[in-house]
């Protein structure tokens, strides 16, 4: 019933049960409204008048409506902290108790929000980095130093630059190996998320 990214407490489980009972045709606009207000970082998602209308529309009392709203707010905030494959997200939502239709609406909202966020990041990073990036490296070996006589100390010099900035790094063997291990871990994560 639990999944790694969402802690399903008793209140969350109760909220999921309430959300599953809501009519599908009215659930999607309800979900979109909450997502929109959270994206705009507004404190009040529904006015008191709107809450009363929702109680009539969904045929629930005020406490039940508030549990549904709070569950969607919690879910929305958790969703934006993780990167998912939509199919895996859909499976996770069903595993924690959502009906298929409700899970599809949530995945649809999440996908639209994440794609707009990623597009903004791509545009911003392209503006900052530009297309003219270069990467160069060289390897030097220091044969001896004042501190250590007759020792070989290999050092790698990496340079990453574009039109606006240039970053130079001097790395020892252990530094370079640590960086390699980190790149390899990132590559493995990317590979596993694609499969």
Based on the fold, state whether residues 54 and 76 are members of the same structural domain: yes
Based on the fold, state whether residues 175 and 103 are members of the same structural domain: no
Return d(Cα 144, Cα 146) in angstroms, integer: 7
Based on the fold, state whether residues 110 and 140 are members of the same structural domain: no
Based on the fold, state whether residues 23 and 83 are members of the same structural domain: yes
- Report the domain count for the chain: 2
Domain closes at, from 79, 102, 126:
126
Based on the fold, state whether residues 122 and 149 are members of the same structural domain: no
Based on the fold, state whether residues 153 and 185 are members of the same structural domain: yes
Evaluate if residue 168 carries a pLDDT over 90.
Answer: no
Grade residue 20 by pLDDT with cuts at 50, 70 and 90: very high
Task: Tell me what the mean pLDDT of segment 50-54 comes to.
Answer: 93
Return d(Cα 37, Cα 33) in angstroms, integer: 6
Domain closes at, from 126, 159, 178:
126
The answer to whether 191 and 185 are in contact (CB under 8 A) is: no
Among 102, 101, 167, CA closest to 129? 167
Evaluate if residue 53 carries a pLDDT over 90.
Answer: yes
Grade residue 185 by pLDDT with cuts at 50, 70 and 90: confident
Grade residue 188 by pLDDT with cuts at 50, 70 and 90: confident
User: Looking at residue 18, what is its pLDDT?
Assistant: 94
Q: 23-46: per-residue pLDDT in tens?
A: 989 999 999 999 888 888 877 889
Residue 1 lies inside a defined structural domain of this protein: no
Among 105, 106, 99, 108, CA closest to 18? 99
* Domain of residue 147, residue span: 134-194
Residue 5 lies inside a defined structural domain of this protein: no
User: Looking at residue 51, what is its pLDDT?
Assistant: 93
Based on the fold, state whether residues 111 and 149 are members of the same structural domain: no
Domain closes at, from 74, 102, 126:
126
Residue 4 lies inside a defined structural domain of this protein: no
Based on the fold, state whether residues 47 and 80 are members of the same structural domain: yes
Q: 108-157: per-residue pLDDT in tens?
A: 988 888 777 666 666 655 555 555 677 677 777 666 556 666 666 777 88
Task: Tell me what the mean pLDDT of segment 76-87 comes to.
Answer: 82
Residue 155 lies inside a defined structural domain of this protein: yes
Residue 151 lies inside a defined structural domain of this protein: yes
Based on the fold, state whether residues 121 and 172 are members of the same structural domain: no
Residue 3 lies inside a defined structural domain of this protein: no
User: Looking at residue 123, what is its pLDDT?
Assistant: 64
Question: Mean pLDDT score of the chain, rounded to an integer?
Answer: 82
């Amino acid at each position: 019933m639990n999944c790694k990214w969402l802690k399903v407490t008793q209140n969350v489980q109760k909220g999921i049960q309430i959300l599953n009972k809501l009519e599908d045709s009215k659930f999607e606009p309800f979900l979109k409204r909450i997502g929109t207000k959270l994206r705009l970082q507004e404190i009040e998602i529904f006015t008191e008048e709107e809450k009363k209308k929702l109680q009539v529309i969904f045929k629930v009392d005020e406490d039940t409506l508030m549990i549904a709203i709070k569950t969607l707010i919690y879910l929305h905030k958790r969703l934006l902290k993780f990167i998912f494959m939509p199919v895996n997200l859909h499976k996770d939502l069903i595993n924690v108790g959502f009906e298929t239709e409700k899970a599809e609406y949530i995945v649809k909202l999440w996908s639209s929000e994440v794609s707009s966020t990623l597009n903004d990041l791509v545009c911003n990073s392209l503006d900052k980095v530009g297309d003219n990036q270069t990467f160069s490296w060289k390897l030097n070996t220091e044969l001896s130093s004042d501190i250590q006589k007759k020792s070989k100390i290999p050092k790698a010099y990496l340079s990453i630059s574009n039109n606006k900035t240039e970053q130079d790094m001097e790395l020892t063997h252990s530094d370079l190996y640590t960086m390699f291990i980190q790149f390899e871990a990132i590559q493995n994560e990317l590979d596993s998320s694609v499969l």
